Structure 1
Amino acid sequence: MEVCPNCFADKELKGFITASSKLGDCKICDSEGVHLLAIEELLDFFQELLNNFQKVEKGEPLKTKIQANWNFFISENVTFKILDKVLPQISTSISDAGERVDYIDEIKDNVDYWNALQKELKWSRRYLTDIKYLTEELKWDKLLDSQIELKTNRDLYRARVHHQSGLPAYPFEKMNCPQPNLAKAGRANPLGIPYLYLCNNPKTVLYEVRASYLDEVSIATFNLKENFSPVRIVDFTETPSLYQPDNVAEILKARLLKKKISEDLSKPMRRYDTEIEYIPTQFICEFIRIFTGASGIQFTSSLDPNGINLVMFDQNLMECTQVKLHQVSEINLESVELKDM
C-alpha cells in the first residue's frame, strides 16, 4: 500500500512524502498524479507513535484519540484505511483503528500532575513546592519551552472601559500596567507584580474587559520596541507536528500538558470565584518566565473563539503607539442549559 501527501494534514509528514520521487494515483484518498510513498517506509514512526497508547475498556477509539489533539490524517475514512493497514505490521496489542485506547501511564501521570499541583498550591504548599520534581522528573521546563518570536510589526491591543461618558480617550501612559502597589492579582500575575495583558485583535479585547452595550472604551495599540528584538514567547496555541520519529513521546506530553494549562489560563473568572483560583496559573507563568527565559506567553481566548491573548512579563518591552475611543454598538450573548446537579 502507498500513501500520498493528501492522506495527511501533518505538514512535516506531507513534506517528507513529497520528497519521494515516485508519482502516481493514490488508492487511499483517490488523489491523482501525486507523490507516493510505500507505507512500510513509515512503520518505524507508527511504531513509536502507537507505543504511547494502551488498550482500555472505557477509552476512546484510537482514530479519535489521535485526531482529537493532532488532526493528523486528512479524514476519518483515510484514518481507518491507514491504521488498519499499519497495525498488523507493527508490534502492538491494538488490533484496529476503532479499538478503545488511552495514553500510557507515563504520559497520563505527567499531564495529570497539573491537577495535583493546582490543589497543592491552593490548599497545601504554596511557596515551597517541589521544583526539582517538575524539572528533573517531569521535565516541564523542556515541555513548556516551545517558543515563537514576537515580531515588531505585530499589532496588539489593550482596552480600558470608561466609567463616565463623554470623556476623551485615555492618554498613552494610562493604557500601561498599573503601578506595582496598585496591581491586583490576575490570571497570570501575582498581587503586586504587574504583567501587560494584550489581545491580537480589537474585538477580542472588548470581550476580555467585559464591555457592555453603549460602553465607551479606549483601545490602545501596542507594538514590540524595535531595540528589544528578538523577543520570544511561549505559544500555547500551536499544534506541533506529530511526525517527529525520535521525539514522539515528548511531543505528546508537551501538547497535552499545554492544552490542559491553556484551558485554565483562558478560563474567565466568575463573580463568585476567589483569587485563590488564580494561584496555579500565576505559578506556571512564573515557572515559564524563570525556567525557559521567555518574555511572555500567548493562549487562546475562551471569550472569543477567534482571539488570542498575550501576557508580557515586562511591559517595558512594548510601547503604546496609539489610543482610540470606541463605543460598543452590539453585544451577542448566548446561554446553554445546565443539567440539575
Structure 2
Amino acid sequence: MSCFTDMAISQKVARQSAEEGYCERCSTRRAILVDCCELSSDFSILLSLYQESEDGDELIALIEQDWAIFSPAVMDRKALLNDLLPETVGVRYATSQPMDNAAQRRWVALKDELKYKNRFFPESAPDAKELAELLGLLVISQNDLPKSFFRARVQRGDVALGLGDLVAPPIGVAQAGRANPPGLSYLYVASDPETALAEVRPTVADVVAVAQFEAVRSFKLVDLSDPRSLISPFRLGLEALSNVRAEMAFLTMLSEDLTRPTPAHKAAYDYLATQYLCELIKRIGYDGVRYRSSLNTGGHNFAFFDVTALSPVGLRDPLFVSAVTLNTVPSSAA
C-alpha cells in the first residue's frame, strides 16, 4: 500500500489484503502487502492510452508524466510496473492520442484574450459542462479539510488590529485577487498560521495579526492544489480516461497560476484568467477553491466565494517579524 500515492489503488490494497510486513520495494516496515498480479487488471486500463512504438519511450516514463500513481519511496518504479504489467517488459510506447500542447495553448489563448480582446465573453473560454465534469473529480471531502483556518494582516500604525479588522474587505473595496475581480469580496484564508503569515509578505519589524476562523456551515470546495496527483485514472471509464488526460494540462496550468506569486502592480491583468475560471467554478455551484501556497511549502490557501461561510473565533498573539528569508529566482520569472 505504501508503494502508491494513488488513493484508488491504495484503498484496493487495503481492502484485499490483511497481510502486513516489510515491503522491499518502498522499504516500509509495516506495509499492507498484496501480490502484484492482483492489481494487474486495474493497471491494464492504462494501456488504452499508449501504443507500441519502436521510437517510443519506456511505459513508466509516459505513465509518470501523465499520472501520480507511485510513491517516491519506491526505489525502482520501472521494476514494480513490470511486475504489475509483465506483458509490457521490453516494449516501448508512445501516447495513442498525443496532446501536442493543445491544453497549454488554450490556456495561453484564454489569458491573452481576456487581457487584450474580450474581457467578459471570451471565445476561448472552456465549455462549462466539460469543466463541471472535470471539477467533479476534484471535490474535497469535508474530512480532508482543516478544523480551523487562518488569516493574517500586517498592522499599519501603533493601534493593534482587532478581530473585525481581519474579516474579508467590504464589497466594492476589495482589490483584485487570484480568485476575485476588483470590487467582489472573497474570503482568503490559509490552512495554518505559518502559511497565513507568509502570504501577507511581511518585512522586518512588521507586526502581524493572525485570526482563527471556523466553518459555520458545510460547503463544497474544488481542490486545485495539484490536479495531477488528485485525479486517479483507476476511477475513470475508458472514454473519460482519455478525455481527462487531455485536459490535465489545462487544470495544471490553472493550478500553477493560482499558486504563482504576482507583484501587486501586475495583479490587475495577470489574475484575469484565474478570476474568470473561479467565476465559472462559482457559477457551477462550488463554494470556493483550495490551492497551494507558493510562500510556505506544504501550506494551502483557500478562497471562499461566500465570506460568511467562515466566522472569526479569536486572535492569536501578534507576531513580530525579526527576519525575512530571500530566495533567488530565474531571470525569466522576473
- TM-score normalised by length of structure 2: 0.79
What is the aligned partner in structure 1 of residue 268 from structure 2? Answer: 275
Counterpart residue identity of residue 196, structure 2: V
Does the C-alpha gap of structure 1 residues 45 and 183 become closer, same or farther in structure 2, counting only changes over 3 Å?
same
Does the C-alpha gap of structure 1 residues 173 and 251 become closer, same or farther in structure 2, counting only changes over 3 Å?
same
What RMSD, in angstroms, separates the aligned Cα atoms of the two structures? 3.8
Contact conserved, 1:65 with 1:102, CA < 8 A, in 2? yes
What is the aligned partner in structure 2 of residue 313 from structure 1? Answer: 305
Distance 1:27 1:162 in 2: 52
Deviation at 1:14, TM superposition (A): 3.3
Distance 1:339 1:120 in 2: 22
1:214 matched to 2:205: yes
1:50 matched to 2:14: no
* Matching residue within 286, 290, 297 for 1:298: 290
More off after superposition, 322-331 vs 214-223: 322-331
Contact conserved, 2:3 with 2:74, CA < 8 A, in 1? no
* Matching residue within 261, 275, 280 for 1:287: 280
What is the aligned partner in structure 1 of residue 109 from structure 2? Answer: 116
SS in 2 for 1:178: coil
Distance 2:83 2:205 in 1: 59
Contact conserved, 2:213 with 2:310, CA < 8 A, in 1? yes
Contact conserved, 2:148 with 2:213, CA < 8 A, in 1? yes
Distance 1:237 1:270 in 2: 21
Distance 1:206 1:104 in 2: 44
Contact conserved, 1:13 with 1:243, CA < 8 A, in 2? yes
Contact conserved, 2:36 with 2:83, CA < 8 A, in 1? no
Distance 1:236 1:158 in 2: 20
Does the C-alpha gap of structure 1 residues 323 and 125 become closer, same or farther in structure 2, counting only changes over 3 Å?
same
1:15 matched to 2:8: no
SS in 2 for 1:276: helix
SS in 2 for 1:259: helix
Structure 2, unaligned runs of 5 or more: none
Contact conserved, 1:7 with 1:78, CA < 8 A, in 2? no
Deviation at 1:296, TM superposition (A): 0.7
- TM-score normalised by length of structure 1: 0.78
Deviation at 1:101, TM superposition (A): 4.8
Does the C-alpha gap of structure 1 residues 62 and 126 become closer, same or farther in structure 2, counting only changes over 3 Å?
farther
Matched residue pairs, number?
A: 323
SS in 1 for 2:203: coil
What is the aligned partner in structure 1 of residue 78 from structure 2? Answer: 80
What is the aligned partner in structure 2 of residue 185 from structure 1? Answer: 176
Distance 2:19 2:309 in 1: 50
What is the aligned partner in structure 2 of residue 63 from structure 1? Answer: 60
What is the aligned partner in structure 1 of residue 320 from structure 2? Answer: 327
What is the aligned partner in structure 2 of residue 233 from structure 1? Answer: 221
Whose radius of gyration is greater, 1 or 2?
Answer: 1
Does the C-alpha gap of structure 1 residues 141 and 78 become closer, same or farther in structure 2, counting only changes over 3 Å?
same
Distance 1:103 1:221 in 2: 49
Counterpart residue identity of residue 119, structure 1: D
Within a 5 Å distance, the mapping from 1:158-173 to structure 2 comes to: 158-164=151-157, 166-168=158-160, 170-173=161-164
Deviation at 1:10, TM superposition (A): 2.9
% identical equivalent positions: 25
Distance 1:327 1:56 in 2: 60
SS in 2 for 1:83: helix
Distance 1:21 1:200 in 2: 34
Does the C-alpha gap of structure 1 residues 107 and 6 become closer, same or farther in structure 2, counting only changes over 3 Å?
farther
Distance 1:117 1:127 in 2: 11
What is the aligned partner in structure 2 of residue 263 from structure 1? Answer: 256
Contact conserved, 1:144 with 1:258, CA < 8 A, in 2? no
Structure 1, unaligned runs of 5 or more: none
